[in-house]
Structure 1
Amino acid sequence: MLDIYIDAEFCAIQNEVYGIARRFGLTVHVVSVRPVEVPRDERIRLVVLPDAAAADQWIVEHIRPDDIAVTLSGELAARLMEKGVRVLGSNGEIFGAECRAKIRAAAGPERDEAEAGLPAEGRPSAGSEVFYFTSQLIRIIQAIRATSNRFDS
């Protein structure tokens, strides 16, 4: 089954993810370092871990190549891309090889996003960014489904 993993520390648009996941019948794992409000839905699972490193590690250990991650953490994105995971920033930008190279060149994890040309973490999305994000997420879901036999729907 194709799942979506949200790095809740870096995603201000969870509600849009929930709606798209519901539409496609996908499970969403919301991974956070503190309790966050999520809809009461058997396909939305909240995972609360003690710190950011543990949260990132949990995502890396549980995600599969045909899953999708939503984050703005360059360090986490690089680790996930090494596993073949498609990573979408909450700004709608798809992390790719060029971004990975910029991230690796950054001097420290706090500078990952800025040096990769990514927006500040967790900032609220404007209407056009939300539309762009949802369009990109749908495109990724459709692309994975077109090339994978691992989903149920």
Structure 2
Amino acid sequence: MTTEPQILIDADACPVKDEIYRVAYRVNVPVIVVSNMHLRIPIHPLISRVVVDSGFDAADDWIAEHAHPKTVVVTADILLADRCLKAGAVVIGPTGKAFTSSSIGSAIAVRAIMADLRAGGEQTGGPAPFRKEDRSRFLSALDLALTSLLRAR
């Protein structure tokens, strides 16, 4: 396992892959795109792809197993975020929201409440549409996280 800075993307539904690639090129940090299906990625030495089998949580399991304190994980999956935080990784959602050990508990609780409401037939509406402000907030959060990791080299 590498202990150099890296970015792991929970990629199947990630709307900010292109932004991640641009930041990675600028700061010279490798990116691993993890998905359950073959996704197109740029041909570049910093970008690699891992396609896991289609088993339940296979991509999440791969990411959690490879996360470490020099990793930035990009995911909207709250349970994966929790696992990666426990491994010492920095975790950022595609909207720029940083998951932290102090905020993850309430995020998991809200997720459980929403799942219970949906199971009871409640219409919860789903996530808000991805906006330009989300993209900007994400880029700021990613830059801050990588700057911090690279300074700690």
Q: How many residues align?
A: 139
**After TM superposition, which residue ranges in structure 1, 4 or more long, deviate above 6 angstroms?**
none
SS where residue 140 of structure 1 aligns? Answer: helix
Deviation, 1:2, is 0.7
Report the TM-score when normalising by structure 1. 0.82
Distance 1:41 1:125 in 2: 27
- Please state if 1:100 is matched with 2:96: no
| Corresponding position of 2:142 | 137
Long gaps (5+) in structure 2: 116-125
**107 and 71 in structure 1: CA distance in 2 versus 1, 3 angstrom threshold:** closer
SS where residue 134 of structure 1 aligns? Answer: helix
Deviation, 1:9, is 2.4
| Corresponding position of 2:34 | 31
Superposed counterparts of 1:111-130, under 5 Å: 111=115, 120=127, 125-130=130-135
Long gaps (5+) in structure 1: 112-118
- Please state if 1:66 is matched with 2:41: no
| Corresponding position of 1:18 | 21
Q: Is the 8 A contact 1:10 1:90 kept in 2?
A: no
Q: Is the 8 A contact 1:11 1:90 kept in 2?
A: yes
Bigger-Rg structure (1/2): 2
- Structure number with the bigger relative contact order (C-alpha 8 A, sep ≥ 6) is 1
Q: Is the 8 A contact 1:33 1:49 kept in 2?
A: yes
Distance 1:107 1:72 in 2: 12
Report the TM-score when normalising by structure 2. 0.82
Deviation, 1:124, is 6.4
| Corresponding position of 1:116 | none
Give the letter aligned to residue 28 of structure 1.
Answer: V
| Corresponding position of 1:82 | 86
Give the letter aligned to residue 89 of structure 2.
Answer: V
Give the letter aligned to residue 148 of structure 2.
Answer: A
